């Protein structure tokens, strides 16, 4: 089964429609070694069912109890837990961290129409921001917040009251070339939260036996990436060493919004690649988007370590823009 992005808003909407009552609890601020990042969510039903996490298990029990009361009362609640709070020790948050959690009952606080639109945007791979807070007017926004979307970073605005929850589409990694490195990279990418796609017209390489249960396209790479789509939540990794396979996909990617392009090959191989693209008229800023040789320079030896270096470099670009 392929790993997909979390379905916490979808679950909350399902519980609300079933008449159980529902609330969304969102981590809005952290200090110290809090176990979950800002924007992490927990869905709670009026019957005490849960989906997701706001602390990795430390404070979920306390949040659920508060959320059930909030559903009954129809009000938002801001919760804070930390090592200086005696209640936090009782629920196990003794790791030196502090978190604030905003609890919003669906319907009475978070409008159902907004939750429905959020779920639809997620299904359609449309990045959206949910603007909320204890006093803020709640809204779903598709424009603005460029840096927040790029960094996948939810957080408070400068006023300290308005919280922006970023809902980006799930990460995808398109891998061109069903070689040994791909056999290591595909499962690693899935563990890291990517939805991988393997493209290789050579069926003997891209076989079910070598990549059991994976999504494989036996098409020319340029046709494959067009069919799958290239957007700002997609990484493209080229592993064939063959210009007639790699270059057409590269040309598609350079004109797209993909956040990472990596191409296997030595420094000499990459120099030849750059020369070919320059001869075709591609400008330096587009060619400069290609990471070649692919991966961070960690002295990798063997397919698995090269796969680690590729995943590390894609993560670095995603999170820092470097």
For residue 95, give the DSSP letter. Answer: S
Cβ atoms 176, 252 nearer than 8 A: no
* Structural domains present in the chain: 8-167 (no CATH), 171-320 (3.40.50.720)
* Length of the chain measured in residues: 322
For 202, other C-beta atoms within 10 Å of its C-beta total 14
Which pLDDT belongs to residue 239?
A: 96
Beta pairing, strands 128-132 & 163-167: antiparallel
* Contact partners, residue 96, CB within 8 Å, separation at least 6: 32, 33, 83
Which pLDDT belongs to residue 136?
A: 86
Helices (DSSP H) in the chain: which residue ranges? 8-17, 60-73, 86-91, 112-123, 146-151, 180-191, 221-228, 243-254, 267-279, 284-287, 303-320
Which pLDDT belongs to residue 234?
A: 93
Cα dist from 214 to 19, 113, 253, 258, whole Å = 38, 36, 22, 21
* Contact partners, residue 246, CB within 8 Å, separation at least 6: 176, 177, 221, 238, 240, 263, 273
Q: Distance between CA 116 and CA 104 in Å, rounded?
A: 15
The per-residue pLDDT string of the chain (322 residues; one tens digit each, 9 = 90 and over) reads 333 447 899 999 999 999 999 999 999 998 876 667 899 999 999 999 999 988 867 788 999 999 999 999 999 999 998 755 554 455 555 455 688 999 999 999 999 999 999 999 998 889 999 999 998 899 999 999 988 987 889 999 999 999 999 999 889 999 999 999 999 999 999 999 899 999 999 999 999 999 999 999 999 988 888 888 888 899 999 999 889 999 999 999 998 989 999 999 999 999 999 999 999 999 999 999 999 999 999 999 999 999 999 999 999 998 887 6
Which pLDDT belongs to residue 182?
A: 96
Question: How many Å from the N-terminal Cα to the C-terminal Cα in the chain?
Answer: 32
Beta pairing, strands 50-52 & 41-45: antiparallel
Q: Is the peptide bond before 108 cis (omega within 30 degrees of 0)?
A: no
Cβ atoms 63, 102 nearer than 8 A: no
Q: Distance between CA 272 and CA 242 in Å, rounded?
A: 12
Radius of gyration of the chain (CA): 22
Q: Is the peptide bond before 293 cis (omega within 30 degrees of 0)?
A: yes
3-state helix, strand, coil split of the chain in percent (to 5) is 35, 25, 40
Which pLDDT belongs to residue 145?
A: 93
Which pLDDT belongs to residue 283?
A: 94
Q: Distance between CA 157 and CA 102 in Å, rounded?
A: 15
Report the candidate in 134, 189, 128 with the shortest Cα–Cα distance to residue 161.
134
Give the global pTM: 0.74
């Amino acid at each position: 089964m392929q790993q997909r992005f979390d379905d916490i808003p979808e679950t909350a909407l399902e519980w609300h429609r079933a008449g159980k009552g529902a609330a969304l609890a969102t981590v809005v601020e952290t200090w110290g070694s809090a176990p979950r990042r800002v924007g992490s969510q927990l869905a709670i039903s009026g019957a005490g069912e849960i989906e997701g996490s706001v602390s990795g298990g430390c404070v979920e029990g306390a949040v659920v109890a508060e959320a059930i009361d909030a559903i009954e009362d129809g009000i938002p609640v801001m919760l804070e837990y930390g090592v200086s709070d005696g209640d936090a020790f009782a629920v196990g948050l003794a790791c030196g961290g502090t978190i604030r959690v905003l609890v919003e009952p669906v319907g009475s606080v978070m409008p159902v129409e907004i939750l429905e639109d959020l779920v639809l945007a997620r299904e359609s791979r449309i990045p959206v921001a949910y603007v909320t807070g204890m006093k803020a007017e709640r809204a779903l926004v598709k424009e603005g917040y460029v840096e927040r979307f790029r960094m996948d970073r939810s957080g408070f605005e400068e006023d300290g009251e308005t919280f922006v929850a970023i809902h980006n589409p799930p990460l995808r990694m398109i891998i061109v070339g069903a070689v040994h490195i791909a056999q290591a990279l595909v499962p690693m990418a899935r563990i890291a939260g990517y939805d991988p796609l393997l493209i290789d017209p050579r069926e003997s390489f891209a076989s079910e036996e070598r990549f059991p249960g994976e999504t494989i396209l036996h098409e020319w790479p340029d046709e494959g990436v067009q069919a799958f789509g290239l957007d700002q939540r997609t990484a493209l990794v080229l592993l064939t060493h063959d210009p007639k396979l790699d270059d057409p996909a590269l040309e598609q990617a350079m004109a797209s919004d993909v956040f990472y392009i990596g191409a296997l090959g030595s420094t000499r191989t990459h120099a030849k690649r750059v020369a070919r693209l320059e001869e075709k008229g591609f400008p330096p800023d587009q060619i400069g988007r290609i990471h070649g040789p692919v991966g961070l320079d960690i002295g990798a030896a063997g397919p698995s370590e090269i796969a680690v270096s590729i995943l590390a470099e894609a993560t670095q670009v995603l999170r820092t823009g470097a």
